[in-house]
Amino acid sequence: GAGVSQSPSNKVTEKGKDVELRCDPISGHTALYWYRQSLGQGLEFLIYFQGNSAPDKSGLPSDRFSAERTGGSVSTLTIQRTQQEDSAVYLCASSPGGTSIAYEQYFGPGTRLTVT
Amino acid sequence: GIQVEQSPPDLILQEGANSTLRCNFSDSVNNLQWFHQNPWGQLINLFYIPSGTKQNGRLSATTVATERYSLLYISSSQTTDSGVYFCAVGILNSGYALNFGKGTSLLVTP
């Protein structure tokens, strides 16, 4: 079946602009995660959604970052007033979910964000 | 958060050689995954292995949860095995969000 998809694959934006990154999880997966990969910080967790529960935002680096998940499926990560340090590959992952059992996470191809 | 250390950081092998990659983690975990990141940046799932031993072709993995480490074995390496291998762990209290190690960069030469 279809895997996790992300769009756009590449995004170049000017410093100070807002950007939106989209993630379509695997159908039926209730858990959705955002991570980012940058040269200086490696792979780091940003935010997590489980079903209709309030998201875990503990990994967001600043209040310029926000995310929402509509209808328990598609998610959008928004970065306001982008800065050069936001340049990274943003990765989305999904899993079958559940709060008492851990499941394997599957990753999308990522969105490469470049802030000029 | 949980600390994840991978070793070695870099590894060069000749085609056909075997290797062992190690992942140490600082606390008890509920999930552990090994990934291969290909040259295009895609994270490919290798193993979901919070405990025990699994094998898939030339690759196998063992996690000893009580001693907080996992090993990834690559046998008869091929040039297509080149790339970065990541270990990642998660716990219930953080919704199983993955904490990644810095990776092992593997180059297999012909």
> In angstroms, rounded to a whole number, what is the distance separating the alpha carbons of residues B71 and B64?
9
Q: How far apart are CA B22 and CA B71, in angstroms?
A: 5
Write out the two tokens for B15. 């085609």
Chain A residues at the B interface, defined by Cβ less than 8 Å, are 31, 33, 35, 37, 42-45, 48, 50, 56, 58-59, 89, 91, 93, 95, 99-100, 102-107, 109-110, 112
- In the numeric block, which tokens belong to residue B100? 């990644």
* Mean pLDDT taken over chain A: 93
Alpha carbons A66 and A79: distance in angstroms, whole number: 7
CA–centroid distance for B7 within its chain: 10
pLDDT at A100 over 80: no
Could you tell me which of A45, A38, A23 has the C-alpha nearest to residue A114? Answer: A38
Nearest CA in chain A to B38: A109
Residue A62 structure tokens:
């600043």
Q: Of B94, B48, B88, which is closest to residue A47 (Cα–Cα)?
A: B94
pLDDT in tens, A36-66: 999 878 999 999 999 888 899 999 999 999 9
Write out chain A residues lying below 8 Å of B92, CB-based: 99-100, 102
pLDDT for the residue A44: 96
Residue A102's φ and ψ, nearest 5 degrees, are -85, 140
Is the pLDDT confidence value at A9 over 90?
Answer: yes
Tokens of B77: 């390496």
pLDDT cut 70: percent of chain A above it: 97
For B38-94, the pLDDT digits (tens) are 888 999 999 999 999 999 999 999 999 999 999 999 999 999 999 999 999 998 888
A109/B42 Cβ within 8 A: yes
Q: What is the pLDDT of residues A66-89, one digit of tens each?
A: 999 988 799 999 999 999 999 999
Distances, alpha carbon A82 to alpha carbons A13, A24, B61, in Å: 8, 23, 40
pLDDT of the residue at A1: 62
